[in-house]
Amino acid sequence: MVVGDFPIEVDTLVVGAGPGGYVAAIRAAQLGQKVTIADKGALGGVCLNVGCIPSKALIQAGHLAEQAHGNEEMGIKTENVSVDFSKVQEWKASVVNKLTSGVEGLLKGNKVDIVKGEVYFVDKNTAKIMDEKNSQTYTFNHCIIATGSTPIEIPNFKFSDRVLDSTGALNLKEIPKKMVVIGGGYIGTELGTAYANFGTEIVVLEGAKEILGGFEKQMSQVVKKRLKKKDVTIITEAMAKGVEESKDGVKVTYEVKGKEETVEADYVLVTVGRRPNTEDIGLEQVGIEKDERGLIKIDNQCRTNVDNIYAIGDIVAGPPLAHKASYEGKVAAEAISGEKAVIDYLSMPAVVFSDPELATVGYSEQEAKDAGFDVKAAKFPFAANGRALSLNDSDGFMKLITRKDDGLVIGAQIAGPNASDMISELGLAIEAGMTAEDIALTIHAHPTLGEITMEAAEVALGTPIHML
């Protein structure tokens, strides 16, 4: 790092190189800004290094391990299936490396200056970037803060070799025989399912009445049914109280229905949410406003109360989604360049890579009613789709939410295989202001899971072909 008495001047300083920060930096550079991006960690942030990408790699490996055991119903029998978990981890690391190297190439190709170090704000136009040895002052006209979030550590469960956060769970050197998962949200469900597919006995402790609380009960029930087939134990309305660690494992104490219980395992994975990384970076020096949860307040262009500083991603209100951060990064970069970009979350999808997958976009049926819409909910089952049956993976459904008066598509929910890919067509339909008739008139290839979207649209129109 260059060290000197004179500050380095840039148009835009981006703090954080995750999926929000690096996308913002590239978009700002494309718009003609001189950009510096700084991060104390690896390029790609949590998502690419210890979140979205490695978790999906592990989930895919788990699916293959499960499938390798064959399917007697389909007449396929296998013997002596083994998993070399060190090789799984090597492959996962190679996927991460390809993507992080790609991000570095994209930043350099767009002439973004990359600096490794911690950022501390001095005032609204000045920050210091520090590594272990040096400090350099930067002055900027604009700044985009994209510092992300960190797993929440709950009382009496201090992270250690046996008490894991999501990063620790992704980097285990062996497949555990048994694991307790505290928190049945999307992270706990995804990682719990991945290890269950590898043969780990999983016990989920969830404080609420249902797992996957952010999704409709109809959707989470499909996942619960499949988890039970994998011999996953789900204990709801359970409060984790404490843990005793030993050299070889843990004993977790929890309370359910007023009674204290214990469960022993090799590890306990704590996935109860994430907190924004807004402390210790000098925000108070600048006077940037935060809410009671530590989230930075922004307007519809991601601008904070300090007019030249913007904030995006997990440190602002809304779900901690990588694609949300990327979207906000583009809006902020364009706003800095004087464009009229504003945030609009209606067609923002949310996905859980559970088994089967869950995906939602726009309004749910209840949300639409609460917003005052008179809606129709059209549901089509995967069990009536030829491709789903041929995959032997026909649990689940698609639900399309349309306005009754004109058939406008305003929401969709999917529980089933490939839901993560299928939801994009419905996001486009909402963004483009399409109706159920527009979707029904679009010829979908046969036999595909995509036909389910067309079939659900036909249900909305009252003219279903493959459903009574």
Question: Per the annotation, where are the binding residues for FAD?
Answer: 56, 147-149, 314
Residue of 206, 219, 251, 200 lying closest to 361 (CA atoms): 219
Query: Which residue ranges are tagged as binding site?
Result: 56, 147-149, 183-190, 206, 273, 314
Name the residue type at position 217.
K
Which pair of structure tokens corresponds to residue 43?
A: 């390029």
CB neighbours of 230 closer than 8 A, spacing ≥ 6? 193, 196, 197, 202, 355
DSSP characters for 143-198?
EEE---EEEPPPTT----SSEE-HHHHHT-SS--SEEEEE--SHHHHHHHHHHHHT
Q: Do 357 and 351 contact (CB within 8 A), yes or no?
A: yes
Q: What gap in Å lies between CA 153 and CA 163, rounded to an integer?
A: 10
Binding residues for NAD(+): 183-190, 206, 273
| Catalytic residue selected from 142, 323, 444, 446 | 446
Structure-token match 């290839």, residue found: 445
Least Cα distance to 453 among 409, 395, 389, 400 occurs for 400
Contacts by residues 252-256 (CB-CB < 8 Å, ≥ 24 positions apart): 252/180, 252/182, 252/205, 254/205
Main-chain dihedrals φ then ψ at residue 256, nearest 5 degrees: -145, 130
Question: Which H/E stretch holds residue 234?
Answer: strand 233-236
* 323 labelled catalytic: no
Q: Per DSSP, what are the bridge partners of residue 351?
A: 359
Phi, psi of 153 (to 5 degrees): -100, 120
246: CB partners within 8 A, 6+ apart: 162
Asked, as a colleague might, if the bond just before 447 is cis with ω within 30 of 0, I would say yes
Q: Which helix (H) or strand (E) holds 331?
A: helix 322-336
CA distance 267 to 172: 10
Distance CA 209, CA 361 (A): 24
The candidate with the shortest Cα–Cα distance to 200, out of 241, 152, 249, 244, is: 249
Please list the active-site residues: 446
